[in-house]
C-alpha cells in the first residue's frame, strides 16, 4: 500500500495551505469554501427530503387529476377512476438507512396508462430559492439530484425536471437492480440555458418521479433539455401497471454542482418551519387531543372574529379551510354560545382569519373558541 506523508497541501501561488496535517495524531485542518460548488449548509433545495413532516396526515389516496398532498411539500397526481395508488409516510427506522421515514407508493388499482395519462409523485420548488442556478441564462449551473429508493418493480425507472410553464423539461432515468432493496442514486442535470425560469414566489422548478405516465407525457432521456412537457422518460417502467406494486423514496436532495454530497439532515423543527411557508394546520394531524383555540376578538352581535398569527410568513395569502367546527362552543368573558358555523375570513401572508356566525354575543367582549372534537382543525394553504 502506498502512502503520501506531508505536512500540508498548498495551491501553486497560494499563501496559505488548503490542508494542514497534524503530524502527531494524523488529523487535519481544511480551509473549505464550498462543497461541490455549493454552500456548506442549506445545500438541499428540497424541503422535507427525509419525509419527516406530515401536517395533513400520513396517508392519502390518489385517484384524481388534482394535486393531492400527504407528507408536506410532496404531492401525488393520477387520473380519476383509472389507476389508483396511495401515498403514505412509512417508518423505515429498522432499515438502517439513517432516516426514520420514507414516502411509499402502493398501487391499489393497476391500469395500463393511456397516452395522455399522468401518474407521479412531485415537489415544486419556489423560484426565489433557485436564483443561484441561473436557469435560462448562458451561465446556468449544473445541479445534482440524489436519493435512496426501493421498489417491487425492477428495471429502468424515470422522472423529470420541468419549469413553471411546462415547456422545458429534462427526463432522467435510474435503474432499480434488485426488488425491494434500498439503492442509492444520483443524477447530475446540466443547467438549462434556454426557456423562462421564475425566480419569484411562483414555481421555479418541479421535480417529478414518474409512476407510469403515458407515452404522450414522456420524452427521450438523452441528456438534454426538451422544449416540451415530459413527466418521465420514454420506455421506462410503469409502476401503476403492476398490481400491488410498491415504491419507496427518502433522503431526496438537490444541490448546486456535479457532486452528490451526503444527505443534509435537518431537525424536525427546521423542516416544519420550512413547510409552514406553504401549509399550516392547527392542530398538527395525529396529535390525538381535542384542540383549544384562544384568540382575542371583538364580537358584533351574531359574529365573533378571530385572527391567528401564522408561525411563518406564507408564500402568498393562504386559502383557509375549517373542518368539523360548525357545532363547537364559543365562549367569552361574559357569554357562552353554540355557534352555527365557522367560516374562513380574509387572510394575509402572516395571519389567517375565521368568523363564527349564528351565536349571540355581547359586542366588545374578548372571546375564546373551545372545540369539542379531535377532528376539528383550521388550515392555511399557499402551495405552489
Q: How far apart are CA 246 and CA 250, in angstroms?
A: 14
Query: Would the pLDDT of 333 be above 50?
Result: no
Q: For the chain, what is the domain count?
A: 3
> Residues 106, 255: contact at Cβ < 8 Å?
no
Domain end (from 229, 245, 275)? 275
pLDDT of residue 3: 81
DSSP string over 29-80? EE--S-BTTB-SSS---SSSTT----SS-SEEEE-SSS-EESSTT-EEE--T
| Domain-embedded: residue 53 | no
Return the number of other C-beta atoms located less than 10 Å from residue 258's C-beta: 15
202 and 270 inside one domain: yes
pLDDT of residue 157: 98
- Ramachandran category for residue 65: left, alpha or beta (phi over 0 → left; psi -120 to 50 → alpha): alpha
| Domain-embedded: residue 37 | no
What is the pLDDT confidence band of residue 340, given thresholds at 50, 70 and 90? Answer: low
What is the pLDDT confidence band of residue 258, given thresholds at 50, 70 and 90? Answer: very high
133 and 245 inside one domain: yes
Instruction: Report which of residues 206 and 320 the model is more confident about.
Output: 206
Torsion angle, alpha carbons of 252, 257, 262, 266, to 10: -60
Please compute the mean of the pLDDT values over residues 239-248 and round it to a whole number: 98
Reported as a single tens digit per residue, the pLDDT across 107-144 is 999 999 999 999 999 999 999 999 999 999 999 999 99
| Domain-embedded: residue 23 | yes
Reported as a single tens digit per residue, the pLDDT across 196-219 is 999 999 999 999 999 999 999 999
230 and 206 inside one domain: yes
pLDDT of residue 376: 76
177 and 242 inside one domain: yes
Reported as a single tens digit per residue, the pLDDT across 53-103 is 999 999 999 999 999 999 999 999 999 778 999 999 999 999 999 999 999
- 18 lies in which domain range? 1-31
| Domain-embedded: residue 46 | no
Query: Would the pLDDT of 297 be above 60?
Result: no
Q: Point out which residues pair with 184 in neighbouring strands.
A: 148
Domain end (from 275, 308, 330)? 275
109 and 191 inside one domain: yes
22 and 129 inside one domain: no
To the question of pTM greater than 0.75 for the whole model, the response is yes
> Residues 160, 208: contact at Cβ < 8 Å?
yes
230 and 93 inside one domain: yes
Q: How far apart are CA 350 and CA 48, in angstroms?
A: 22
Q: Which cell numbers hold the place of 184?
A: 442509492
| Domain-embedded: residue 44 | no
What is the pLDDT confidence band of residue 322, given thresholds at 50, 70 and 90? Answer: confident
95 and 124 inside one domain: yes
pLDDT of residue 334: 46
78 and 131 inside one domain: yes
Q: What is the CATH number of the domain that holds 184?
A: 2.60.120.260
Q: Point out which residues pair with 61 in neighbouring strands.
A: 86
105 and 162 inside one domain: yes
Query: Would the pLDDT of 345 be above 90?
Result: no
146 and 103 inside one domain: yes
270 and 287 inside one domain: no
Query: Would the pLDDT of 360 be above 80?
Result: no
Query: Would the pLDDT of 335 be above 70?
Result: no
Query: Would the pLDDT of 351 be above 50?
Result: yes
| Domain-embedded: residue 340 | yes
Domain end (from 275, 306, 340)? 275
Reported as a single tens digit per residue, the pLDDT across 150-188 is 999 999 999 999 999 999 999 999 999 999 999 999 999
Amino acid at each position: 500500500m502506498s502512502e503520501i506523508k506531508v505536512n500540508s497541501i498548498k495551491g501553486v501561488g497560494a499563501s496559505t495551505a488548503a490542508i494542514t496535517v497534524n503530524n502527531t495524531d494524523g488529523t487535519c485542518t481544511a480551509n473549505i469554501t464550498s462543497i461541490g460548488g455549493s454552500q456548506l449548509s442549506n445545500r438541499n433545495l428540497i424541503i422535507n427530503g427525509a419525509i419527516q413532516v406530515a401536517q395533513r396526515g400520513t396517508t392519502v389516496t390518489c385517484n384524481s387529476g388534482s394535486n393531492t398532498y400527504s407528507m408536506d411539500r410532496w404531492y401525488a397526481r393520477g387520473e380519476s377512476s383509472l389507476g389508483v395508488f396511495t401515498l403514505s409516510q412509512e417508518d423505515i427506522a429498522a432499515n438502517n438507512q439513517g432516516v426514520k421515514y420514507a414516502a411509499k407508493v402502493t398501487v391499489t388499482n393497476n391500469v395500463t396508462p393511456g397516452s395522455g395519462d399522468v401518474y407521479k409523485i412531485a415537489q415544486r420548488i419556489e423560484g426565489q430559492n433557485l436564483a443561484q442556478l441561473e436557469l435560462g441564462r448562458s451561465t446556468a449551473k449544473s445541479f445534482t439530484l440524489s436519493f435512496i429508493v426501493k421498489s417491487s418493480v425492477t428495471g429502468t425507472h424515470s422522472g423529470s425536471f420541468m419549469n413553471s410553464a411546462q415547456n422545458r423539461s429534462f427526463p432522467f432515468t435510474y435503474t432499480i437492480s434488485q426488488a425491494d432493496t434500498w439503492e442509492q442514486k444520483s443524477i447530475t442535470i446540466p443547467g438549462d440555458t434556454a426557456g423562462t425560469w421564475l425566480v419569484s414566489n411562483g414555481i421555479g422548478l418541479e421535480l417529478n418521479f414518474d409512476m407510469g405516465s403515458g407515452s404522450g407525457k414522456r420524452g427521450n432521456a438523452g441528456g438534454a433539455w426538451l422544449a416540451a412537457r415530459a413527466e418521465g422518460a420514454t420506455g421506462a417502467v410503469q409502476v401503476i401497471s403492476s398490481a400491488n406494486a410498491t415504491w419507496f423514496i427518502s433522503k431526496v436532495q438537490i444541490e448546486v454542482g456535479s457532486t452528490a454530497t451526503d444527505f443534509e439532515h435537518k431537525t424536525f423543527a427546521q423542516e416544519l418551519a420550512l413547510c409552514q411557508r406553504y401549509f399550516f394546520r392547527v392542530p398538527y394531524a395525529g396529535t390525538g387531543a381535542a384542540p383549544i383555540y384562544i384568540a382575542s376578538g371583538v364580537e358584533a352581535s351574531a359574529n365573533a372574529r378571530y385572527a391567528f398569527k401564522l408561525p411563518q410568513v406564507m408564500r402568498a395569502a393562504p386559502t383557509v379551510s375549517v373542518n368539523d367546527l360548525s357545532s363547537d362552543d364559543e365562549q367569552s368573558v361574559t357569554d357562552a354560545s353554540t355557534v352555527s358555523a365557522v367560516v374562513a375570513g380574509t387572510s394575509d401572508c402572516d395571519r389567517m382569519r375565521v368568523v363564527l356566525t349564528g351565536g349571540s354575543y355581547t359586542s366588545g367582549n374578548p372571546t375564546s373558541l373551545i372545540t369539542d372534537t379531535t377532528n376539528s382543525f383550521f388550515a392555511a394553504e399557499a402551495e405552489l
